[in-house]
Amino acid sequence: MKKIDRYILFKYLTSFFFCIILFTAIVVVVDMSEHADDFVKSGLSASQIFMDFYLGFIPRIDAMLFPLFVFISVIFFTSKMAGNSEVVAILSSGVSFKRFLQPYLLGGLLLSILLWLGYQFVVPNANRKWSEFEKKYIDINFAPSQQNSTYKQNIYFRIDSNTYAGIKGYDTVSKSGSNLSVQRIVNNKLVYNLRAMNFRWDTSLHKWSLNNVVERKLNAIDEDVSFSSNKIVAYSFKPVDLRKDDYLKDQMTTSELDKFIELEKMRGSEMLSTLQVERYNRDAIPVSVIILTLIGAILASRKVRGGSGFHLAIGVVISVSYILFSRFSVVFATKGDFAPWLAAWIPNFFFGILALYLYKKAPK
């Protein structure tokens, strides 16, 4: 690595971390002012709030805006270099524009790997910590009309290729519910039916405990009926599978999410597209860091009359366009027939083409 590479890489990384630390501090201050009443009602100390809430909130918000931080920091320090004629001096010394972009690529790759690792392990655990605090101390302060209740009603899903289950009511906190029904269908014929008045998760046995159970086994011409006051059953679904809330997919590590997606595929779940988009985004968003790094470096390396202000304005427009593009594609995938992998990767595809076009047109 040459001295000029270390110089550019140092400016890149220091600008990025300064940007993310500064923005994080601003977001935390604003969030504290919004949730001050909830924190007071919780009765927790400042250290408990920081450990239980903000150690989950900060990684969550930083990961969400990570590509934007990268783009703005690249625009900022490269525009300063161009304004001081440093870029002109580098290129005039015989360094090709392709060679000039190499430290940007290296920095973008390092940050991309950092974000990818964060999405695999750090961010899901942070989301779990944040959401638990949110549901316990903040969501509880909202009106019951809002969809924040831990009690789920009318749940229907597939247990395996032949077995289906229905639940009238289930409490995600106590891990107990009422009116469980299980049907097994073979060759379009009902061969087994179970109904339980109440059920709960047995934490010691890691199985479901059913109360007031009626079982029917249907034969060709008759049926066998049995009654039991209590029955322990090892179904393939667990309490986490019944938590159909907005936080669930964000709290799973990538390996857990992969297993959950396979299970939901088998069940024919209606939330499958949302889960798949989340999974593909964990690989696609880190790649966007490299693409936005190149776009920012190419745009800001040209010395213009507007200086850094002009470059930052262009950067904000491109960043907003990228975010809007991503949101629209996600909506089409979750609410329509758009392929989830395409929804996650299509913004990178179009902005990758934009990066290539800008590179071809850049003065060298």
Domain coordinates in residue numbering, the chain: 3-141+271-361, 160-235
Distance between CA atoms of residues 354 and 323, nearest Å: 15
Confidence bin at 142 (pLDDT 50/70/90): very low
pLDDT of residue 145: 39
- List all residues 6 or more positions away from 189 whose beta carbon is below 8 Å from its beta carbon: 218
pLDDT of residue 131: 81
pLDDT of residue 103: 94
Q: At what angle do helices 102-117 and 272-300 cross, to 10 degrees?
A: 160
The answer to whether 78 and 296 are in contact (CB under 8 A) is yes
For the stretch 162-188, pLDDT in tens is 898 999 999 887 889 999 999 999 888
- State the amino acid at position 221 in one-letter form: I
Percent of the chain residues topping a pLDDT of 70: 91
Confidence bin at 15 (pLDDT 50/70/90): very high
Mean pLDDT along residues 267-287 = 85
The answer to whether 253 and 120 are in contact (CB under 8 A) is yes
Confidence bin at 311 (pLDDT 50/70/90): low
For the stretch 30-39, pLDDT in tens is 989 888 888 8
Q: Angle at Cα 188 formed by Cα 243 and Cα 185, nearest 5°?
A: 40
**How many Cβ atoms sit within 10 Å of the Cβ of residue 78?**
27
Percent of the chain residues topping a pLDDT of 90: 36
Residue 25 has pLDDT above 60, yes or no: yes
The answer to whether 200 and 174 are in contact (CB under 8 A) is yes
DSSP per-residue letters across 50-63: IIIIIHHHHHHHHH
Confidence bin at 129 (pLDDT 50/70/90): confident
Verdict on whether the full-model pTM lies above 0.85: no
pLDDT of residue 246: 60
Torsional class of 232: left (φ above 0), alpha (ψ -120 to 50), beta (otherwise): beta
Q: At what angle do helices 307-335 and 66-83 cross, to 10 degrees?
A: 160
Tell me the C-alpha to C-alpha distance, in Å, between residue 172 and each of 51, 149, 152, 200, 349: 24, 9, 8, 10, 40
pLDDT of residue 293: 93
Residue 181, classed as helix, strand or coil, is strand
Distance between CA atoms of residues 78 and 87, nearest Å: 8
Q: How far is CA 336 from the centre of its chain?
A: 20
Confidence bin at 144 (pLDDT 50/70/90): very low
Residue 319 has pLDDT above 90, yes or no: no
Among candidates 230, 184, 181, 179, which has minimal Cα distance to 207?
A: 230
For the stretch 195-217, pLDDT in tens is 999 999 998 988 999 999 999 99
Distance between CA atoms of residues 179 and 212, nearest Å: 10
pLDDT of residue 236: 83
pLDDT of residue 111: 95
Among candidates 148, 136, 110, 158, which has minimal Cα distance to 286?
A: 110
Q: Kindly tell me the sign of the dihedral angle through the C-alpha atoms of 105, 107, 111, 116.
A: positive
DSSP per-residue letters across 101-132: THHHHHHHHHHHHHHHHIIIIIHHHHHHHHHH
